Amino acid sequence: MNKNAWTAICSAVVMIWAAGDVRAQFAKVEDAIKYRQSVMSVLGTHFTRLGAMVRGETPFVREAFEENASLVATLLKLPWEAFQVAGSDKASALRPEALSQKEDFLKLARANQDEVAKLLAAAKAGELSGIRSAFGAAGASCKACHDSYRRK
Ligand code: HEC
């Protein structure tokens, strides 16, 4: 057997192992959907609080801003494998392309985590204009994924 064939077999084995691993985290497809929707819902609540402070709808308190940004950053570590469970595009707002274009989906997830990390750094620095622009960039990177991979 030539080297290319071995490479193909090895990567197929790795892919099957990886897929099995993701599925093993959740007993049922519905569990994966419920898990990720819960995470998104909670992080959405904290992100909305940030937005209210940025827009001046609630008083800007630096410590509270940092705490909420930190929670969003932590929560963003959780949901991504739950988005990769086969069949979970049914009965949810996940578009099937998120499963067939997994690399792109995960790229948008990482970009979002990077922007939220910058937002947290800006919150620590405490300068409102820096916080405002970092919040805008973070929000845009949430939206970038929703536009491509979330059903309206
Ligand atoms: C890489 C893609 C991606 C990124 C990045 C992303 N989301 Fe989402 N989000 C989704 C998808 C897909 C759904 C629909 C999930 C489902 O129905 O199972 C969703 C659902 C939601 C929901 C609805 C949860 C519910 O109750 O069902 C909220 C709120 C939300 N996202 C907020 C955010 C915020 C805030 C950010 C940025 C900090 C963000 N999302 C970043 C893909 C993403």
The residues spanned by each domain of the chain are 27-149
Q: Is any ligand 1 atom within 6 A of the Cβ of residue 36?
A: yes
Tell me how far apart the 2 most distant CA atoms of the chain are, in Å.
68
Question: Is the CB–ligand 1 distance for residue 112 below 6 Å?
Answer: yes
**Predicted TM-score (pTM) of this structure:** 0.87
Q: Which of 148, 150, 151, 152 to mutate to test the pocket of ligand 1 (most atoms within 8 A of CB)?
A: 150
48-69 pLDDT, tens digit per residue, is 999 999 999 999 999 999 999 9
Which pLDDT tens digit goes with each residue over 81-116?
A: 999 999 999 999 999 999 999 999 999 999 999 999
Write down the architecture of domain 27-149 according to CATH.
Up-down Bundle (1.20)
Q: How many CB atoms lie within 10 A of CB 91?
A: 10
